[in-house]
Structure 1
Amino acid sequence: MGRLPVEEQPLTSLAHRPENSPADGHIRRRTVHANGLDFPILEAGNGPLVLCLHGFPDHARSWISFIDRLAREGYRAVAPALRGYWVGGAAPDGSYRASATGQDVLALIEALGADSADLIGHDLGARAAYAAASLDPVRVRKLVGLAVPYGKGLRTALVADGDQQRRSWYMFFFQTRMAEMAVQHNDFAFLDRLWREWSPGYVLPPADRSALNETFGQPGVLTQALAYYRQLFTPPSEPETQALEVRASGPITVPSLYLHGTDDGCMSTQLSEGMEAMFTNGFDRVVMPGVGHFLHLEQPDAVLSHVLRFLKC
């Protein structure tokens, strides 16, 4: 990622930083209260609101270059931390399910003073974006998903597809009690392995690796991040949450774009085949050759070009 006019500071400490407002195109750091949480956000520009949602093992900082460039294109671009990804950010209701993160996205749109927003989600951030669009399509203008498809394809593959089961070994390992110890061992070498396997053509710069490790090294953050996966295979027991999860996984009625790299070592490109059946108001799928899981970092110019063309049409 290019160096931008923003102080080097781990995202996990942003909650203690005073709000500031440098010129457009610069990164603003502050917190926004929404859905019972004080979300640290990175923000740039003025104009139509675009939310950029990170995944795992990642954090909002990875969007810095992207939101700066969106701001230069006339957007107000915001990258929030997902619930659980900062000290004090544990889910108030204990939920890290898709419906909970989707509700966070909708609450953030309102808290940021907008009636609606475009959503760009990567990995778990894509899941949050899909859920938000399913729960309240009025608040979502357009939707972009990166690297994690929508629909029943992934769940089916985890049961019946040996190749995807191999790719998703980490999900199963995270169900164990030793996961926290293993992930933290040897300066988070576990996370380095995931990045290498998922994006074999990309090397995370040392400064960004250090910042990422600092995020997951903060008290409670790693366990909270693993909770997303620990709740993945267990249906909720509360009837209200069950109903909400059903709503959050329904057909999507907003114009949508999906990007997936052919060299993604986490999610097979084949999982996104046929997902257009879940989109009822326009859907485009772009498969990018030679690109891995973190495609917005590996090929930022190409990804941004696809995204801008879609948002502006």
Structure 2
Amino acid sequence: MTTFTVHSVPANGLRFGYIEAGEAGEAPLALCLHGFPDTAHTFRYLLPELARAGYWAVAPFMRGYAPTEVPEDACYETAALATDVNALHAALTGSGPRSSTEDGLGPGVLIGHDWGAFAAYGAAALEPRRWRSVVALSSPPTRAIIPSFLDYDQLRRSFHQFLFQTPLAEAAVMRDDYAFLRRLWTDWTVDYDPSTDLTHVRAALRDQANVTAAISYFRGMFDVYPRSSRYASIRHRAQAVPTHPVLYLQGERDGSLGTDLAENARSVFAADSVVELVEGVGHFPHLERPAPVNRRILDWLS
């Protein structure tokens, strides 16, 4: 298995840690965005494949996940995540605010899983010229989630989102060496051993400030904390579905999402988008069945 060195880069007022594969600054950027409870290492199988396909593949640790800094403004709304992503593109490629094929390394590709998918949708919606293509895994756009969110089965799958609105959340997550997170991984996947991933997760959520940061992504969904006025002017656009065609992949046996959400997504994405259920896997298809999922992603990007 590839061993990755963690690098860092300043973007949007934070210093982001990231891992990479491929020719830095020479090849088109493929930015891979992780979700919860996960880290940049979730893309350890995909990064080398992207590099072999001619990309500079970069997976940052999202805001608040060590070694990336915890933001002083405690802001985790989608607009902040999307701004991070576009700022990372600018910092890594040397491009300006209106990236084009003549500016820096030109448009990149976005691959987002879980919360990383929401960040990818928002980044592409805000600055579409920065990005050539979007791949999303295991989180359809909000517009596809809303019709099913109050369904009993989906409420049961999403219990953690409601727990995370309470003051008990940090204690529940950190109790007994993060046993709560192990149970989420085992409930959400199919015959998958998350031990390697949990080692990385414990390192990324090593302090309570990091745990609070990760939980606050969910608190931002329900306006539990005041949103930063800095993002007020772009908040609505960051929630939009991008105009790019999207490849959306979801595990057929995802323990946190019903298959009806994938069906809802078909009517939400732009024309020429593709929605596929990956048979026999759960919430982490790129880890549970990396070879066929990586191949599907590379076929889409090509």
Scaled by the length of structure 2, what TM-score is found?
A: 0.89
Whole-Å separation in 2 of the counterparts to 1:215 and 1:122: 17
Matched residue count: 287
**What SS class does the counterpart of residue 292 from structure 1 fall into?**
coil
- The alpha-carbon deviation at position 256 of structure 1 amounts to 1.2
CA contact under 8 A between 2:136 and 2:249: conserved in structure 1? Answer: yes
Match of 2:52 in 1: 72
Partner of 1:155: 146
- Aligned counterpart, 2:41: 61
Query: CA offset at residue 125 of structure 1?
Result: 0.3
Distance between the aligned counterparts of 1:212 and 1:307, measured in 2?
25
Task: Determine the structure 1 residue equivalent to 2:254.
Answer: 264
Indicate the residue corresponding to 2:278 in structure 1.
288
Give the match for residue 89 of structure 2: 109
Identity of aligned residues (%): 40
Give the counterpart letter for 1:201 in structure 2.
Answer: D
Q: Tell me the equivalent position of 1:34.
A: 11
Deviation at 1:219, TM superposition (A): 4.7
* Counterpart AA for 2:59: A
Q: 3-state SS of the aligned residue for 2:44?
A: helix
* C-alpha displacement of 1:87: 5.3
Higher relative contact order (CA 8 A, sep 6+): 2
Change (3 A) 1:87 1:300: closer
Check conservation: 1:87, 1:219, Cα contact below 8 A: no
> Distance in 1 between the 2:76 and 2:118 partners?
11
Structure 1 runs (4+) greater than 4 angstroms displaced: 235-240
Distance in 2, Cα, partners of 1:221 & 1:240: 22
Which AA in structure 1 matches 2:122? Answer: A
Distance 1:239 1:30, change over 3 A: closer
Residue 102 (structure 2) pairs with residue 125 (structure 1) = no
What amino acid is the match of 2:12? N
Residue 280 of structure 1: how far off its partner (Å) = 2.8
**Which deviates the most, 208-217 or 231-240?**
231-240
Aligned mates of 1:207, 1:238 — CA distance in 2: 35
The alignment's C-alpha RMSD in Å is 1.8
CA distance in 2, matches of 1:207, 1:263: 21
* Aligned 1:1-313 pairs, distance under 5 A: 3-4=1-2, 6=3, 27-46=4-23, 47-86=27-66, 89-113=69-93, 114-158=105-149, 160-204=150-194, 206-234=195-223, 241-312=231-302
Partners of 1:66 and 1:260 lie apart in 2 by 16
Residues 300 and 207 (structure 1 numbering): CA distance in 2 closer, same or farther, change over 3 Å? closer
